[in-house]
Amino acid sequence: MPKIFEGKIISLKMQKTAVVEVKRTLTHPVYKKVLRRSKKYKADTGELVLNVGDKVKIIETRPI
């Protein structure tokens, strides 16, 4: 089952590629504090017309 991430486009400076920032929250196992983590993924856009700030869903695939 492939993972699906929701994030926000932060850069469109490459051709046919967008940089998507995915934010997630987790709870510390001992101190129970809520931590915020983010990671940037590069996603293929193909022929889609996108803008910076758009919310998108990306899905993992095998290495190409």
CA pair distance 14, 40, nearest whole angstrom: 14
Q: pLDDT digit string (tens) for 10-33?
A: 999 999 999 999 999 999 999 999
Instruction: Give the confidence band of 39 by pLDDT, cuts at 50, 70, 90.
Output: very high
Instruction: Give the confidence band of 49 by pLDDT, cuts at 50, 70, 90.
Output: very high
E strand segments, the chain = 4-14, 17-27, 34-44, 55-59
pLDDT of 64 over the 90 cut: no
pLDDT for residue 30: 98
CA pair distance 35, 38, nearest whole angstrom: 10
CA 44, distance to chain mean position in Å, is: 12
CB-based contact 56:5 (threshold 8 Å): no
